[in-house]
Amino acid sequence: MQRRDFLKTSIATSAAIMGTSLSAGVTMQPITGQEVSTMAFPEKRPLITYSDRPPLLESPRSTFTSRVTPNDEFFVRWHLPDIPTHIDLDSYTIKIDGLVERELNITLKQLREDFEQVEVEAVLQCGGNSRSAFKPICGGIQWGHGAMGSAVWKGVRLSDLLNRAGLKKGAHWIGFNGKDNAAYYETPNFIRELEIEELNDHVIIAYEMNGEDLPYLNGFPLRLIIPGYYSDSWVKMLSNITVTHDYKSLFFMDVAYRVPDNETESETPQNKFKKTKPITNMNVKSIIGYPETGMKVYHNSHVVVRGVAFDDGHGIQDVLISTDEGKTWEKSLLAQEGGRYAYTQFRFTYKPTKYGKVNIMAKAVNRLGDEQPLAADVLWNHGGYKFNGIDIVTVEVV
């Protein structure tokens, strides 16, 4: 089927799914053990599902043995439930206005033909990924570790679009808005802002993901890509770019997606810090994709521990593995083929010599020397953001 026809079918199916009951399987959430359903959305295989309106889908742990996450396994996170169910590709434009010399309305065809096409491989991670690992429990979706993925994104540099429009004197902030809307009229739009100084050649407007059109649920037809930043800044179904001199006060910038501006103390449920900052840059993190908790492995066999690690673009120096509760750590083998914003894959061969349950622990260290802390040492915050505790899977040696 042609892409347009397939999208019509997919979008219609999505509309039917959202807000309706489906016959779905049930799986255990990876960290908390709570039951969550699995269902298949258009262009997706069955994923861990927290909500169907808006869609909130988590990838299983097994996904994180590959450098590039398949599109049909890639997690989904929308904030607003009213997602357009019809997209006319011929009339769709991205509008650039505000403090620019020339207001532009760029079609998808112009985007593909009139600008240099570029690719960047980068990790997309929800700021609340692994939120369910925080103790005590934080508010928000109790994500396991699967609200993340890495892809090859293709599109056009944001700086090239802004150069075509021409920035006026005093241009300092760039605002981004997509086509999703709230169900309640007083709910604010999901608008993000970026300082001009934050731009680099890796910030792009993407229309492809892993060699295919962006999936509908991952922001089709256009998505903002900001490598190294958490996904709250990666606006989906991008339709408007507005350049301004002054920062605009916005809910999703000034209230949501913020953490305490304090690197040494944790908040408590009773004591929320007043001084906060946006989450922006991702911290160093690793996840074991294989084996998974609950698996049985054979005594004296060769178990190949595999997973991925990443940070905000400084690069991964080591991923260390421990099978003795952190008493000793050994270096794993790394494969770094996708660039500094992509997953670093790691492999470690482990020979179980004792029967019973064994904790396999993974700790990433980046090139700045930042390393994953123990879960108990991650600074607690009431939003449940930026959890990056040492990953642990428990297997049984038989």
Place of tokens 């428990």: 394
Pairing state of beta strands 191-195 and 76-77? unpaired
| C-alpha 175, offset from chain centre | 20
Percentage with pLDDT > 70 across the chain: 87
Angle value at C-alpha 13, between 12 and 19, nearest 5 degrees: 100
The CA distance from 98 to 165, in Å, is: 10
Q: What is residue 297's predicted lDDT score, i.e. its pLDDT?
A: 97
pLDDT in tens, 134-189: 999 998 999 999 999 999 999 999 999 999 999 999 999 999 998 877 666 566 66
Contacts of 187 (CB under 8 A, 6+ apart): 80
Nearest by Cα to 381 from 124, 127, 147, 123: 127
Instruction: Identify the residue with better confidence: 327 or 178.
Output: 327
Asked whether the predicted pLDDT for residue 15 surpasses 70, the reply is no
Q: What is residue 207's predicted lDDT score, i.e. its pLDDT?
A: 98
What is the chain's mean pLDDT, rounded?
89
- Whether the model pTM is above 0.85: yes
pLDDT in tens, 35-85: 566 778 889 999 999 988 889 999 999 999 999 999 999 999 998 778 888
Contacts of 289 (CB under 8 A, 6+ apart): 61, 62, 63, 64, 65, 66, 306, 307, 308
HSE value, Cβ hemisphere, 13 Å, CA-based, for 103: 5
Instruction: Identify the residue with better confidence: 178 or 14.
Output: 178
Angle value at C-alpha 201, between 207 and 88, nearest 5 degrees: 20
Contacts of 270 (CB under 8 A, 6+ apart): none
Confidence of residue 26 (pLDDT cuts 50, 70, 90): low
Confidence of residue 3 (pLDDT cuts 50, 70, 90): very low
Show the domains of the chain with their CATH numbers: 3-77 (no CATH), 93-125+147-278 (3.90.420.10), 285-397 (2.60.40.650)
Confidence of residue 18 (pLDDT cuts 50, 70, 90): very low
Beta bridge partner(s), residue 333: 347
User: 61-65, 191-195, 343-347 — which is least confidently predicted?
Assistant: 191-195
Instruction: Identify the residue with better confidence: 254 or 203.
Output: 203
User: What one-character DSSP code corresponds to residue 26?
Assistant: E
User: 12-21, 108-117, 149-158, 181-190 — which is least confidently predicted?
Assistant: 12-21
Place of tokens 């910030």: 203
